[in-house]
Chain A
């Protein structure tokens, strides 16, 4: 288990280098969630709200075993419930602990325009820094898992920190500590992945779940939360887990390449205008300066200047 300080690996919207990066090597952490042994006791939900000192909040009962419809800015850990009928008519109660996945390639961090509002530590944890957050909610559209939530009172975004405050001190996250069945485990990414692969093999070979597998989506570079699923081919059954989570091209190609190039092209208008000035020059009213003599600008029939100072609106010009 990693100990010591949390070294930052990536900073959102940061134009400089990351201080201290590469000085120390650190193990990447991972949360292991075996949905097949989750009993939906919600101990992790309580532990999360307790450790993070979240305020009480009213919820909506929707006739399921789910605490509330979705995670909120103050409720980062939610057991999603789905009653699934299999082809043979038998029922399955699918429980999945929904929280931030701590992507290796975080869409929220890519989307964020505020310097330092989102950081990724070398141990893989993606953390929001509310003191730098500007509340623009770009991370909402950058995240394929619908995790960042807006607090309209503080105008800041919040989500699961993977208990970076605990992990930085060598402790496991609060949800892990509270789990009574052992379906939650915490350790290095290598170890947790090996454990998950072993458990998935066990499900395939001994429990009759031919499609069992580990959810660690490569489309976001893998995640620092991995699930063991009975059926990896249908992750949507588990409370809408996306089969192929993707970051919108807006925050990849567009933000990295098109935006800087577009801005430079638009600003190119300034040197072009300057070049025009020094080559073609200005176009003054003609004929140029000089005493144009009497009759220059003799008032015409409908000329407004015959009216003297004009308080209202002239008829012709607008």
Chain B
């Protein structure tokens, strides 16, 4: 099973990767290759389209504002399930692509326990065990996986109420709403964390690369694996260099 997933991922990465490239300048590390970036933005576009069409139907307050974007209520309704299917299919590929680095480990439990320190920026650099993704990123990923499954099942029931019956459709509607709210809240946090909260992160999803100091700051264990160097030692060395430059007479 795992072997099959790995073979599929490798083939997809190779084929999609052939259409684009990742330019790596000195002092940078590749974080997200072409395949991952294409999937991420594909998922993002379909997610936003599904979100806007869904919110239009979600509440009367937004119906009048959002339906004209999609050509009125009937087309909004018509497009929503197809946008959502686009999201589900692309996210399923991303799920396979990220299955291994997103696997929940003991380190993630440790990370969750020190979440307060993470939120308050208590430390300059993340704990040394934080690998390619931290616990919060994995939590968001698995929340999307669960929500997407709930979305898909309840959505199909709501799409064909004459097949599944009125009671199932009414229950599906509630589950669909809950999944949407979880995803919406997570999406807002994701936008913030990927841009304003952590400078230097957004480029990992656009150009695909990050600075080395970004890597040892946020993902020290990944830095160690990717470069074979000690993140803490490199961080300390860089710090000393910056300090000696900004205050040349001190040492």
Measuring CB to CB, which residues of chain A are less than 8 angstroms from any residue of chain B?
Answer: 13-15, 113-115, 117, 132-138, 140-143, 146, 150, 155, 248, 250-251, 254, 258-260, 262-263, 265-270, 273, 276-277, 280-288, 290-293, 295-297, 299-305, 307-314, 316-318
Shortest CB-to-CB span from B123 to chain A, Å, is: 9
Q: How many of chain B's residues touch chain A, expressed as a range?
A: 35 or more
Within 8 Å by CB of A284, from B178, B191, B199, lies: B199
A contact patch SS: loop
| B228 at the A interface (CB under 8 A) | yes
Name the A residues within 8 Å of B182 (CB-CB).
Answer: 266
Measuring CB to CB, which residues of chain B are less than 8 angstroms from any residue of chain A?
Answer: 10, 13-14, 17-18, 21-33, 35-36, 57-61, 63-64, 73-74, 76-78, 97-98, 100-101, 119-121, 124-125, 132, 158, 161-162, 166-167, 169-171, 173-174, 177-178, 181-182, 184-185, 188-189, 191-192, 196-200, 211-214, 217-218, 222, 225-229, 235, 237-239, 241-242, 245-246
Shortest CB-to-CB span from B251 to chain A, Å, is: 14
Are the C-beta atoms of A297 and B192 separated by less than 8 Å? no
Query: Would you list the 8 A-B pairs with minimal beta carbon distance, nearest first?
Result: A297-B27, A300-B227, A248-B170, A269-B188, A141-B169, A134-B77, A273-B192, A141-B166
For the A-B complex, the count of residue pairs with Cβ-Cβ distances under 8 Å equals 244
Within 8 Å by CB of A134, from B74, B121, B181, B189, lies: B74
Within 8 Å by CB of A305, from B10, B27, B100, lies: B27
Name the A residues within 8 Å of B196 (CB-CB).
Answer: 273, 277, 282
A316 to B21, CA, bound (A): 16
Are the C-beta atoms of A270 and B188 separated by less than 8 Å? yes
Most-contacted residue by chain A among B58, B166, B218 (CB, 10 A)? B166
Are the C-beta atoms of A276 and B77 separated by less than 8 Å? no
Name the B residues within 8 Å of A269 (CB-CB).
Answer: 184-185, 188-189
Name the A residues within 8 Å of B192 (CB-CB).
Answer: 273, 276-277
Most-contacted residue by chain A among B58, B98, B213 (CB, 10 A)? B213
Shortest CB-to-CB span from A192 to chain B, Å, is: 28
Within 8 Å by CB of A138, from B14, B18, B173, B229, lies: B173
- Excluding A113-B60, A286-B235, A301-B227, 6 further A-B contacts by CB distance (< 8 Å) are A115-B73, A292-B238, A297-B26, A310-B24, A317-B32, A318-B33
A150 to B61, CA, bound (A): 26
Most-contacted residue by chain B among A297, A310, A316 (CB, 10 A)? A297
Name the B residues within 8 Å of A115 (CB-CB).
Answer: 60, 63-64, 73
Most-contacted residue by chain B among A115, A132, A262, A291 (CB, 10 A)? A262
Within 8 Å by CB of B119, from A117, A267, A280, lies: A280
Within 8 Å by CB of A140, from B18, B32, B63, B169, lies: B169
Sampled A-B contacts (6; CB under 8 Å): A13-B60, A282-B196, A283-B198, A295-B237, A314-B226, A317-B31
